[in-house]
């Protein structure tokens, strides 16, 4: 599928570093492949000049950027979320946007379960009791560093019901937990779901697996956090802005929320004064740097699907 001047199509990968060293399979047809480890916003236009295909993960493609790229015909996103692309502008300009779905169901679900275990068993404070000298300088054979819960019989409330949430549900049930799915806030719960407010009020652990929309932004705020069961844990591997982090800080300070496991932030990487970095210093909060998705198996699948997306586009499919 050469360009009008007969040149092979140019394919430009703008943020290769997000693939963790795993290469995207290149199409079998002649092409001009170029890649950059990282791209500043100011360099996007220059690097994509003349490109038919752009490969991105978190590089923002707004309407002004797209308008300056008349030859661009495909944006291949190496992720499920496409919120970094102005899709209306892309459609108006005849640019396809293809993403990757269904690749992280195992790895993110396992990450959620890891966080549930870490919080329920007090992994951080018990480790600190060893490293800070509390154990060696104590008089007892053990250290009561944190409350410990068994998972059997605990209620896990899931917000969202896609592949990842279903993967978490299956693993939680295998551990003897009671699993419930929440309906949307302000909407009557459908079959197989409990009302949003009931799940908040009765769950020992809640886990967020819903997209970020105007309706879900700060779905956990001062009001909804206060309605949660006292001592409950929060897990968020979805989108950072689902939680008002300052409200979460206040709830933790008050001893209402029992702890949190967070893998995502509203801005990534977070600025030095971000609440997420203050939260990470707490012994009842586990923060990971948006790493739930990046098992080798999952990233390899992202690369494979992205390669297929590009190859099928160039083949006219």
Are 96 and 263 in contact by the 8 Å Cβ rule? The answer is: no
Query: What is the sign of the dihedral through the CA atoms of 111, 115, 120 and 122?
Result: positive
Residue 233 backbone dihedrals phi, psi, to 5 degrees = -100, 150
Distance of alpha carbon 53 from alpha carbon 44, whole angstroms:
13
Distance of alpha carbon 260 from alpha carbon 205, whole angstroms:
9
> Which are the catalytic amino acids?
239, 268, 290
Are 75 and 61 in contact by the 8 Å Cβ rule? The answer is: yes
Distance of alpha carbon 17 from alpha carbon 23, whole angstroms:
10
């Amino acid at each position: 599928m050469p360009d009008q001047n007969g040149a092979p199509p140019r394919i430009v990968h703008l943020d290769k570093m997000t693939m963790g060293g795993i290469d995207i399979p290149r199409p079998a047809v002649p092409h001009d492949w170029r890649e950059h480890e990282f791209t500043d916003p100011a360099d996007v236009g220059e690097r994509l000049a003349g490109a038919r295909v752009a490969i991105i993960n978190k590089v923002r493609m707004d309407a002004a950027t797209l308008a300056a790229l008349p030859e661009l015909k495909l944006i291949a996103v190496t992720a499920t979320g496409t919120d970094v692309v102005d899709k209306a502008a892309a459609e108006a300009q005849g640019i396809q946007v293809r993403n990757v779905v269904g690749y992280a169901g195992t790895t993110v679900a396992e990450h959620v379960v890891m966080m549930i275990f870490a919080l329920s068993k007090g992994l951080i404070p018990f480790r600190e009791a060893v490293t800070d000298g509390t154990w060696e300088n104590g008089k007892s054979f053990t250290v009561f560093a944190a409350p410990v819960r068994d998972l059997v019989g605990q209620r896990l409330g899931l917000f969202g019901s896609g592949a990842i949430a279903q993967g978490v549900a299956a693993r939680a049930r295998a551990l003897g937990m009671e699993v419930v799915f929440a309906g949307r806030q302000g909407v009557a719960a459908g079959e197989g779901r409990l009302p949003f407010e009931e799940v908040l009020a009765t769950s020992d652990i809640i886990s967020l697996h819903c997209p970020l929309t105007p309706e879900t932004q700060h779905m956990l705020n001062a009001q909804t956090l206060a309605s949660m069961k006292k001592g409950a844990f929060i897990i968020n591997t979805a989108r950072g802005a689902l939680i008002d982090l300052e409200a979460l800080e206040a709830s933790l300070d008050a001893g209402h929320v029992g702890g949190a496991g967070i893998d995502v932030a509203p801005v990534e990487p977070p600025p030095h004064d971000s609440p997420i970095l203050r939260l990470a210093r707490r012994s009842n909060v586990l923060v990971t740097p948006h790493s739930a998705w990046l098992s080798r198996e999952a990233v390899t699948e992202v690369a494979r699907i992205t390669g297929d997306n590009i190859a099928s586009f160039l083949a006219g499919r």
